[in-house]
Each structure stands twice: as structure tokens, then as C-alpha cells.
Amino acid sequence: MHPTRVSAHAPVRAVVVAALLAPLAACSSSSSPTASDAPRTGRSDDRPVTVTVTPEGRRAAPGRPVTVTASHGRLTSVTVTDADGRRLSGKVAAGGGKWISDRKTAPGTAYTVAAATRTEGGTATTKVSFTTTGADKVNKVDWRPGTGTTVGVAQPISLVFDNPVGNRAEVEKQLEVTTSDGTEGSWGWIRDWSGRDRVDWRPKSYWKPGTKVTLHAELNGTDSGPDGGWFVRDYTTTFTVGARQIVEVDLDRHRLTLVRDGRTVRSIPVSGGTPGGDKRSWRGTAVLMAKEGTINMNSETVGLGDAYDKMVDYSMRLTWSGMYAHAAPWNAPHFGNANRSSGCIGMSDEDAAWFYGQVRPGDPFEITGEETKGVVDPGNGFGAWNVSWTAWRQKSALR
């Protein structure tokens, strides 16, 4: 379904008669318009000011900036306010002839415009109202990480959209990432494991510990494109990067090693996915998505038939497709000796409890091994680190 489109109408023109009884001295005051401030046509400059506001009417098309122009005078200030008191900011152009809002109008919103003008004859204020049509379809966003969190050095900013995003460049322009240390990074558009459109922002290399990051997604009033609908709110998240922790997983040696700030903290014997079939583990860089604690794992949910259905402790999700690191006491004979799991990285209860307490979401798991089933895809969890920096930058809609 396409968003409602409204044909263009003639703009609203409000005529304001300046105060003709102003003292003559005002004509030569320092605040009077100059030749560059007000148009001259050979007639007296005490003519009425014409203020034009677009969009206009009760069914104005959303997704456009507000434009206010003045003829036979100059704008001194413009205020655009919605029914909830929120303002659209903007600036009066040099010469005072035009004002354009920085933001676009949102769907289904009533706006009031107050334009203050000045002529050689005096000052006046014009008020005009208009209402935009509502959105016939709304696009929503699920984003990570959550605001106020502390994350590992591999955590990307990730936005998953409910509906398709056809206007990717327009949407990406509304996404602003600021960091406390000027971290270089880029957005990249990918397909999420769920099949939905998704855009991630990752640094060129792992974050520096202590970096503070803010995302301002000023999407309200942006059309996501055919079949996508309108965005009707903004999104903001802030987070801090914690210690540099890297989890090295060598499935050939059946060992997991936690490295913090370049120093080995502990090495743990593990068992990875069984070679030779669908139970093999993924390799490459996976990012710890969440610490889920004790959960039910059912092999039928990941296409492995009825191989298992059990409660599993200290579960740490690495991919959407079901790869975890977790306690696996039933596999104890194989820890440090062989890969005999159904694709996850299993360890003893004792080791899992310790390890679970050390790691945080955003920590990278750098997994190596000959008998694996491939590299983690960018959309299968946070696999963007398996794409070269050059290739990742090309995934931006603004390149």
C-alpha cells in the first residue's frame, strides 16, 4: 500500500498591513530594512507584507519541510509548533526573505506557524495553521543496543525495520552517530535473519574501551518507500564501550580462551559442533548477542529433528540460527578432546558459570576450525565483522 499523496494546492498567503502611524523617526532607525533586506519596485516600502507558508490546508502532504517567505518586508523570526508544543527548528535566510525548517513535517500532525515581520512602517505577526494527512501504514524500528548499556568492543548499532525500506538513502541521512573519540565507522544495509530489512553501523575496527556512543535517528516524517509506510517517531540510544575482551575459540584444539586487554585470563576445554553434517559450528567472528541464562533448547526449532529437548544453563546466544556457548555436562567426556555437540560450544557447569560472569553482550568470539560449516553471515546475529572494511562501506546507501 502506498502512502497517501495529496495534490499540490496554491500556498497560503497572509497579507499584513504594517502600522502606518509609526513615528517618522522609525523610518531611519537602525532596525529599518536596507536595500538588501526588502525588495524595491519604486513604490513606498509601507506596502502590506505578504507572508506565504507551504505546505498548507487541512490535508497537506507530510514529509516536507515548512517554508515561509515574505514579500515587501523581511522575516525576523518564525516559530513552527505542533499540537504537543514540539517545535520544528530552522533559520531565517540572509536578507530575511525566507525560512525553511530543518525537519520534515510528520504525518497526521497539526502545525501552527507564527511569522514575525518588519517593514519600514513597523512590525507585525502572521499566524497560519495546517494539518498533514495521516499515515496509512507505519514503519517501526527494533534497535540494539539498549540505551544506557555497557557493551563489548564488537557491538554494532543495529536497526531492524518492520516493513521494507525502499528509500534507503533518505532513511540513512536521518541516522546520526556521534562518539566521544571520533571513531570511524559506516552504515551497511543487510538482510536480517528474520528476512526483514536491517541497517548496522560498525566501526572500522573494534571499539576503543571507554568510548561513549550516541545514535540520533530523526526518522519522524520520513517515507520509507513503496510498501514500507511512514516513520512517525524518532529514536535515540546511548551506550558505553567496556573493557577489550576477545574470546578466542579454537575448535581444532577444543579450547576457549578469554583475552582481556591483551592478556590471557583463562583457557577452558570445550566441545564444538560434530563434524560432517548440519551439526557443525559456524566459524569467523560471532558477537555475543545476549546472556539468556537457563533456557529450553529444542532441536526441532533449528531443523535438527528430535535430537534434543532440554533445559540448558548459562546460555549465551551467538547467532539467530541457534548457536550458543553454554553449560553441557552431558558432553563432559569430549571437553578438550573432540567436537561432539549439535553446533554449540559446550563446557562444564563450573567453567560455564565462571565464563558467564565474565563476558558481556558485544564481546567478539573469534572462532577457528577446519571442520565448520561456514562463516557467520552478517544478518545471522552480528556477523558484520566477517566482511572486509572496504566491502562493508559499499553497503551504505550513501556511497
CA–CA separation, 25 and 236 (whole Å): 52
According to DSSP, the residues that pair with 125 across neighbouring strands are 116
pLDDT at residue 45 in the model: 53
pLDDT at residue 80 in the model: 98
HSE toward the beta carbon, residue 333, CA cutoff 13 A: 1
Which fold does the domain 245-386 belong to in CATH? L,D-transpeptidase catalytic domain-like (2.40.440)
pLDDT at residue 30 in the model: 30
> Residue 381 above 60 pLDDT?
yes
Q: How confident is the model at residue 300 (pLDDT cuts 50, 70, 90)?
A: confident
Give me the percent of the chain exceeding a pLDDT of 90: 83
φ, ψ dihedrals at 107, nearest 5°: -70, 150
CA–CA separation, 140 and 364 (whole Å): 28
* Residue spans per domain, the chain: 12-131, 141-242, 245-386
pLDDT at residue 332 in the model: 97
pLDDT at residue 46 in the model: 62
Digit-coded pLDDT (tens) for 207-254: 999 999 999 999 999 999 999 999 999 999 999 999 999 999 999 999
Domain over 141-242 is classified CATH 3.40.50.300? no
φ, ψ dihedrals at 283, nearest 5°: -120, 180
- Report the mean per-residue pLDDT for the chain: 89
Digit-coded pLDDT (tens) for 273-283: 999 988 999 99
| Of residues 25 and 340, more confidently modeled | 340
Which among 128, 127, 116 has a CA at the least distance from the CA of 18?
Answer: 116
Give me the percent of the chain exceeding a pLDDT of 70: 88
What secondary structure does DSSP assign to 312-380, as a single string? EEEEEE--TTS-EEEE-GGGGGGTTT---BSSSEEE-HHHHHHHHHH--TT-EEEEE-SS---BPPTTT
Which among 145, 230, 159, 218 has a CA at the least distance from the CA of 188?
Answer: 159
Say if 12-131 and 141-242 have the same CATH topology: yes
Could you name the CATH architecture of 12-131? Sandwich (2.60)
> Residue 266 above 60 pLDDT?
yes
Whose cell is 514575525? That residue is 116
pTM above 0.95, yes or no: no
